[in-house]
């Protein structure tokens, strides 16, 4: 009898402890949410899209987090890119316009500034430290998934150093906290209410696989944007490859350094004499290690941080022998070309950028390509296609968007019935000719009184 009483008492005590632990847990979650939520904003940009062969305004939504009392908001680049207008809904449900201070496509980050009332101070959230994150720790994703504002989802850190190939300069925090469209730009928060990441991605059709940009990388980017308006990086033209790739069962027989997988044509690395197959050991005397994929973003940051115009010493191994090269990086410059809509022609153009459009740039390092062709439009009917590199129109070279615009404006003066131009494009490495007939558009346009071009 005595034992049963003891057992009963122990059970009761356990239940009480569980209940208390649960209550404590819920209190922590609630307090964290209360602390952070005031700094979470619903971001509503109106973006310009050139994808479908015409310039269109697209309303998107995402999230952001206010990081200073004067209204600096961190969000994702893909939320705010090409926005012509941004409105943020604050926790007190006020809608406040915001301006873009700067963005960084390569880390998918952007910095906005809320147009607060004079003297107004906004609630804000401190940025934490992602270095101390461990797998299994509780985190919360806050934001507006599918427009459901002020949502919070709870999960754990699934991986602190996830490599995604599209992100050259940062690793990712993987979490099973629900991150859905609309969460982008919102904070990933630890139980102490610190922002440890910025939510940015999910995996289509996956359950509970989301990714956030580690806050330490965010801080670097924000700092650069505040100081320079963008993130200045150098370009060397070196493509890196780790020594071990478990996914592809590739194991390079070496223990130090990082492999050069490729050297871009006409790049500083090519000029320095570096070649595919060289293994970099040191950069300006500092040992480098590219054993695994996860090591590459840091190495790329290192190379990107080299001052442009100043030679850096690269120690490398080739054919078993050590050597050195003087690598003089250059400023990376734009990483995305500008856009242009040619309305009457029902197509949109974009400048070829060697960083973003690598395969087009292989065939033609500079120039313009067709970014979008409107379905059923004049360009589509003429046989022009997405990714055609526009080389000549009516015999005139098209080296840039300005040239394309000139030709377009001149062609718009052609009389009805003769509104055709001969386009020479490069498609898949081969030249093709097509006659772009835009008589139809002009007929429709003439029927609508007062219609104007939109470029």
Partner 1 sequence: MLTLLVASLAWGAAGIPEPVAAEARKSGESFVRLSFRFGPDTRSIPGEDRQAVQDAADRCYERAMSFKWTGITVDPQGSVLCADPCVPLWRVVGVEAEHRDGRKVALAPAAVFVDWNALLFAPSSAPEAPVPHVEFHDARLALGEPFYRIEVMLVSRDRYLQISPALVELVPLGPEPEYRAFFGLKTEDTPFGGALLLNGAGAAVGFQTEYDLWDGPGGLTTYHPAQLRAGARLDAQGWRDLCGALDARVARSARKVQIHLRNVKDEEEDDDWYYARDDEDRKVLVCYGIAIGGGRFFVPIDLARELAHQITRITVDAGGREREAPFIGMFAEWGALLIGGAEGVEPIELRADAAPRRGKLFLVHRAEERFGRLYQETDYNRWFNVRIGTGEEEMPDLVKRVNAPALLFDVEGGLIGFYLVRRTIDSPAAVKRWEQVASLQRLAPILADAEKAFDPLARPRPAREEKRPVWLGIEFQPVRRDLMELKGLLGPTREGRIGLLVSHVYARSPAEALGLARGDILLKLVQEGESRPVELAARRGGSGIPFYWGRSMRGEDDEGIEPSRLWRPARNYLTDLLTRIGPGKKVTLAYLSGGQERQADLVLEEGPDDFESAEKLKERTLGLYVRNLTYEVRDVLRLAPDDPGVVISMVEPGGKAAVRSIRPYEILTHIDSTALRNVHDVRAALDAARRDGDDQILLRLWNLGETRIVAIDLAAPEGE
Is 385 a binder of partner 1 (CB under 8 A)?
A: yes
Secondary structure, 3-state, the chain: CHHHHHHHHHHHHHHHHHHHHHHHHHHHHHHHHHHHHHHEEEEEEEEEECCCCCCEEEECCEEEEECCCCCEEEECHHHHCCEEEEEEECCCCCEEEEEEEEEECCCCEEEEEECCCCCCCCCCCCECCCCCCCCCCEEEEEECHHHCCCEEEEEEEEEEEECCCCCCCCCEEEECCCCCCCCCCCEEEECCCCEEEEEEEECCCCCCCEEEEEHHHHHHHHHHHHHHCCCCCEECCEEEECCEECCCCEECCCCCEEEEEEECCCCHHHHCCCCCCCEEEEECCEECECCCHHHHHHHHHHHHCCCCCCCEEEEEEECCEEEEEEECCEECCCCCCCEEEEHHHCEEEEECCCCCCHHHHHHCCCCEEEEEECCCCHHHHCCCCCCCEEEEECCEECCCHHHHHHHHHHHCCCCCCCCEEEEEEEECCEEEEEEEECHHHHHHHHHCCCCCCCC
Name the nearest CA neighbour of 60 among 78, 76, 40, 46.
46
* Catalytic residue chosen out of the listed positions 151, 158, 184, 267: 184
Give the contacts of 167 (CB within 8 A, at least 6 positions apart). Answer: 106, 107, 108, 297
| Residue matched to tokens 């394309």 | 404
CB-nearer residue toward partner 1: 196 or 434? 434
**Among positions 134, 207, 430, 448, the unique one binding partner 1 when judged by CB under 8 A:** 430
**Among positions 357, 373, 377, 400, the unique one binding partner 1 when judged by CB under 8 A:** 357
What is the end-to-end Cα distance of the chain in Å, rounded?
90
**Among positions 132, 229, 428, 453, the unique one binding partner 1 when judged by CB under 8 A:** 428
Closest approach, Cβ 262 to partner 1, in A, equals 4
Name the nearest CA neighbour of 62 among 154, 145, 178, 176.
145
CB-nearer residue toward partner 1: 166 or 205? 166
* 400 labelled catalytic: no
**Among positions 12, 422, 446, 451, the unique one binding partner 1 when judged by CB under 8 A:** 422
Site residues (CB under 8 A) for partner 1, limited to 146-175: 164-166
* 108 labelled catalytic: yes
Binding mask 286-325 for partner 1 (x = CB under 8 A): ---------------------------------x------
**Among positions 12, 15, 435, 446, the unique one binding partner 1 when judged by CB under 8 A:** 435
Binding mask 222-241 for partner 1 (x = CB under 8 A): -----------------x-x
**Among positions 37, 138, 292, 363, the unique one binding partner 1 when judged by CB under 8 A:** 363
Binding mask 169-208 for partner 1 (x = CB under 8 A): --------------------------------x-------
What's the token pair of residue 163?
């490599």
Closest approach, Cβ 259 to partner 1, in A, equals 6
Is 443 a binder of partner 1 (CB under 8 A)?
A: no
CB-nearer residue toward partner 1: 111 or 421? 421
Is 433 a binder of partner 1 (CB under 8 A)?
A: yes
CB-nearer residue toward partner 1: 148 or 362? 362
Site residues (CB under 8 A) for partner 1, limited to 249-288: 249-253, 259, 261-262, 264-265, 276-277
CB-nearer residue toward partner 1: 164 or 328? 164
**Among positions 137, 420, 440, 445, the unique one binding partner 1 when judged by CB under 8 A:** 420
CB-nearer residue toward partner 1: 93 or 248? 248
* 184 labelled catalytic: yes
CB-nearer residue toward partner 1: 160 or 353? 353
* Catalytic residue chosen out of the listed positions 108, 339, 346, 388: 108
**Among positions 20, 22, 409, 431, the unique one binding partner 1 when judged by CB under 8 A:** 431
Residues contributing to the site for partner 1 (CB under 8 A)? 164-166, 201, 239, 241, 248-253, 259, 261-262, 264-265, 276-277, 319, 357-360, 362-363, 385, 387, 420, 422, 427-435, 437
Which residues are tagged catalytic? 78, 108, 184
């Amino acid at each position: 009898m005595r034992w049963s009483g003891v057992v009963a008492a122990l059970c009761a005590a356990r239940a009480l402890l569980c209940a208390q632990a649960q209550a404590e847990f819920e209190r922590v979650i609630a307090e964290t949410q209360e602390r952070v939520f005031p700094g979470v904003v619903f971001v509503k940009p109106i973006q310009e899209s050139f994808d479908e062969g015409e310039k269109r305004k697209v309303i998107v939504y995402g999230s952001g987090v206010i990081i200073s009392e004067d209204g600096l908001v961190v969000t994702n680049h893909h939320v705010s890119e090409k926005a012509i207008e941004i409105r943020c809904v604050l926790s007190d449900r006020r809608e406040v316009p915001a301006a873009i201070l700067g963005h960084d496509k390569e880390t998918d980050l952007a910095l906005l500034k809320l147009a607060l009332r004079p003297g107004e101070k906004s609630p804000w959230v401190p940025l934490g430290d992602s270095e101390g994150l461990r797998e299994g720790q509780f985190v919360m994703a806050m934001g507006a998934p599918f427009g459901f504002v002020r949502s919070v989802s709870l999960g754990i850190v699934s991986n602190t150093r996830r490599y995604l190939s599209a992100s050259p300069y940062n690793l990712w925090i993987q979490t099973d906290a629900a991150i859905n469209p609309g969460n982008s730009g919102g904070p990933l928060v630890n139980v102490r209410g610190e922002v440890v990441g910025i939510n940015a991605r999910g995996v289509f059709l996956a359950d509970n696989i989301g990714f956030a940009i580690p806050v330490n990388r965010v801080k670097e980017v924000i700092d650069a944007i505040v100081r320079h308006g963008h993130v200045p990086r150098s370009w060397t033209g070196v493509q890196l490859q780790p020594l071990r790739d478990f996914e592809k069962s590739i194991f390079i027989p070496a223990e130090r350094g990082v492999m050069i997988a490729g050297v871009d044509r006409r790049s500083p690395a090519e000029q320095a004499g570096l070649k595919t197959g060289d293994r970099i050991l040191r950069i300006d005397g500092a040992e480098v290690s590219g054993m695994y994929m996860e090591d590459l973003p840091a190495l790329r940051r290192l190379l990107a941080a080299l001052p442009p115009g100043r030679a850096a010493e690269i120690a490398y191994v080739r054919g078993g022998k050590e050597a050195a090269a003087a690598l003089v990086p250059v400023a990376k410059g734009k990483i995305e070309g500008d856009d242009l809509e040619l309305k009457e022609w029902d197509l949109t153009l974009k400048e070829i950028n060697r960083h973003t459009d690598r395969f087009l740039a292989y065939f033609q390092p500079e120039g313009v390509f067709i970014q979008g062709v409107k379905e059923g439009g004049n360009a589509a009917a003429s046989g022009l296609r997405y990714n055609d590199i526009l080389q000549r129109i009516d015999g005139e070279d098209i080296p840039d968007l300005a040239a394309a615009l000139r030709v377009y404006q001149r062609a718009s003066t052609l009389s009805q019935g003769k509104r055709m131009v001969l386009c020479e494009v490069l498609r898949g490495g081969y030249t093709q000719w097509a006659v772009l007939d835009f008589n139809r558009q002009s007929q429709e346009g003439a029927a609508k009184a007062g219609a104007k071009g939109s470029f």
